[in-house]
Amino acid sequence: MRGLNHITFAVSDLDKSCFFYETLLGLRPVAKLKHCAYFLAGNIWLALVLDAVVAKSSRNDYTHVAFDCGTEEFAGLKEKLLAFGCRQWSVNQSEGNSFYFTDPDGHKLEIHVGNLQSRLNAIRENQDATIYDSELFQQPVATKIPAILEFDPDKPAFIEPAKVLKRLENMPENCVICFFNDVIASLEKQGRLELITQLKSEIGFNPVYLIKGLAKPVALLHPGVGAPLAAGFIEEAIALGASRFVACGGAGSLAASHQVGKLIVPTFAIRDEGTSYHYLSHEEKAVPTNAALNAALNAVIATLKARGVDYERAGTWTTDGIYRETRKKIEDRKKMGCSCVEMEAAALFAVAKFRNIEMAQILYAGDDLSGEFWDSRNWHNRTDIRESLLELAIEACLKI
């Protein structure tokens, strides 16, 4: 026995029950067919199945299903349920706030504020209570789910970038993020860059430049490699005064049709890294700020169209584990709409959404993961593609 797999309720009106569980209780819809629907209640799968012989009356005993509810949401949710006409079938006589009610088919339910740990604490002094494996239950309540899923939206954080770094008067609001250190070095050698400041980490100094000779100020920086470092440097750039970003980088291609240099504009990122989960709850999608209204994304698309550049809008797979990109995962990500894989996009999008700033990205297809064997295609040495991509990113950034 590995745990509770799912709960199924027979229902007489699938649409009415779906409305009840989604709109009133706030469960997350997963799938709907003609005869059934699936929801997630936290990590528990709830199935609603249309049944012609649903019982007309509820059981008379205490058997019921309880849903977890936060202290802040309890009163409002209880009021909504009563307003909907839910029947209260019991009163609370135990630890923690509870409201006992029935769904449209009479299934006995409860919303409860508390958890197993708080219940054990409440009964610990009871002489009739026997608590087994007490060391396990003395673990923090947070261990009931993986720590990476414990999203806390609280601001400010213990170390808040804006409190650590002073805003720079000469820091442009528009900023290009470039993952090509060789191209940045070439621009510096040509005299096209002016040093604004230097960020620092244990790998050394990371310069932030002003790109000279443009119609308006645009900054340029390399964010490092990998989601944690990139997110950290973007946080610091935001603290310095940047708020509109266009990123350019390379990615592994998952599509056999991609030639080296094929441009991909990510419209979403599959979050297979850790950093984004500190900025967005696990239920949220990592997308370019606001895909429908995003000025950065629109600027990227407008630039590519104006230049007549062939590009593809698709999802990207962001992973921390470059040596754990298995064949099964590759096939699964392709089915999810991803045409490439890289290490930062999900984190960049998550930081942008959390900080309410503009962020879009352009990637070029580099190495190939679509065949039987990995093919590097010498993608790191395609300087012509990388230089052209940076120029497109700069042009797009000027449009924001």
Assess contact for 346 and 270: CB atoms under 8 A. Answer: yes
Work out the number of other CB atoms within 10 angstroms of the CB of residue 77: 18
Local structure of 54: helix, strand or coil: coil
Assess contact for 328 and 222: CB atoms under 8 A. Answer: no
Q: How far apart are CA 325 and CA 39, in angstroms?
A: 30
Assess contact for 221 and 178: CB atoms under 8 A. Answer: yes
Burial letters 206-223, b for 16+ CB under 10 A, else e: bebbbbeeeeebbbbbbb
Work out the number of other CB atoms within 10 angstroms of the CB of residue 123: 13
Structure tokens at 222: 């390399």
By DSSP bridging, strand 244-253 and strand 174-178 are parallel
Catalytic pick from 72, 79, 95, 110?
110
**Is residue 234 classed exposed, middle or buried when 0-12, 13-18 and 19+ CB atoms within 10 A define those classes?**
buried
Assess contact for 222 and 145: CB atoms under 8 A. Answer: no
Q: How far apart are CA 83 and CA 73, in angstroms?
A: 15
Active-site residue flag, 110: yes
Assess contact for 161 and 241: CB atoms under 8 A. Answer: no
Of 291, 298, 224, 304, nearest to 264 (Cα)? Answer: 304
Q: Which residues are catalytic?
A: 110
